[in-house]
A and B are shown apart, each in its own frame.
Chain A
Amino acid sequence: MYKIVSAIFLAENIKKIEIEAPRIAKKRNAGQFVMIRVGESGERVPLTIADSDPEKGTITIIVQGMGKTTRELNSKEAGDMISDIVGPLGAPSHIEKFGTAVSIGGGVGTAIAYPTAVALKKAGNYVITINGARSKDLVILEKEMKEVSDEAYITTDDGSWGFHGFVTQKLQELIDSGKTIDYVLAIGPIPMMRAIAEVTRPYHIKTVVSLNPIMVDGTGMCGGCRVTVDNQTKFACVDGPEFDAHLVDFKNLSDRNKLYLLEEKQSSDAHVHVCKLNKTV
């Protein structure tokens, strides 16, 4: 069992959870993830590590309540236990001094873009961050992103905070302004990552995305997380999760992620029903 040290909401439905996991805290690098099983009948879900404190022996994850498991996680408070956490898994982000590096996070993807932005800064890059959300109240890690950036931008779909529009438009604007960009990291919903890839493709800017396919073990044993990259099958859990955005078959990823839509809805509805019952009682 692993103890939750702190759990606070960053925005509606998005929670920052710090968990005791000394081995993982010691070894973890930017870009890596953990598999979590909340309880005994739980599924194993991959979540990227947002931060770690090797001294304290804790890691931090940022979770958006989407399906049953993530909502169950988000209902946890400091002092609660979770059954299993394993990691750090996946290959660490490839970090070097590229020159000017843009780290783009869409929604809860910002939680993953953040540690890589920190690592890019440490490696001596001029770091630009673009932090996108649907609206102002869903913007997370604004302060942290700003601290690590040479230039920090917020975009909201509804214009309630920062730049009115999508992260892709902001990126295009930066390119159009004549800025030399050597490296782009984009993490967020699949349509966003695919759109970013199309923005940078004509300029041949090296662009990396972190993929989120369905996983079971997360250690290379099952092949459920296979993705098509450069027309080859890769396992996101051991070969990734970061890949060259210009070579990823996003359509295949998006299709494969729909595999359990029916079951996810069934689980989720049942969970909401139970939660409502609990509240009523």
Chain B
Amino acid sequence: MAEMKKNEAASPAILEICGLQKSFGELNVLKDISLDVEPGNVVSIIGPSGSGKSTLLRCATFLETANGGDILYDGQYAVKQGVYATKAELAKFRMRFGLVFQNFNLFPHYSVMKNITEAPLLHGREKTEVQEHAMSLLKKMGLEGKENAYPCQLSGGQQQRVAIARALALKPEILFFDEPTSALDPELTGEVLKVIRQLAEEKMTMVVVTHEMPFARAVSNRVIFMDGGVIVEQGHPEEVFGNPQQERTKQFLRNYQR
């Protein structure tokens, strides 16, 4: 399964999704979704609730099983026409991406340090290197001195930053964010967005599902507007936000600004 996609062997995209379909029973949540994410790019996915944004991320990270279409990482098929690679191959694909959840999903019984270091250690990385990397990530997240704290002792914003550090500790090629600030007080949203912005400046490849329009406009290289399980419109943030072509996009952005 892990063969290179023919003709496009030189394709620079880290993630390619082609004709992705997903339905829950009768309900078609994703209808023929296609998108590419190039290295160093930040792609924001916006759209109303129930438009399929989160399902798209969950399919890309194998948390949901798609019913059809292709998913390729670095030109290698993880899913080809709805058929998944073997378990062992999928496990390798998982090492290519990280996912930050809306509800953080930190492990409450682990200290901040152990939350970050256990996965890389389980993957056989060297202990001192893993710990040093974790410390530098914590520093980057503005969480110095919190390594021995437990998640319950941290604010939501701090927890989400630990979750970002935890995802980065595995050195993913691409990082997915599923509404990373939706569970946070408005006050705490800023500190998480700041960290994501910083990662964008460092050319981390990211796909961010978000309702933070000013953030999406400022940070992304590309904005995708989804509704009803399809990509209605996509393009440079200034185009999508400044001069939307589709009536549905205009309507959504109008309602949002109100």
Asked if A and B are interacting partners, one says no
Q: Which residues of A contact B (CB under 8 A)?
A: none
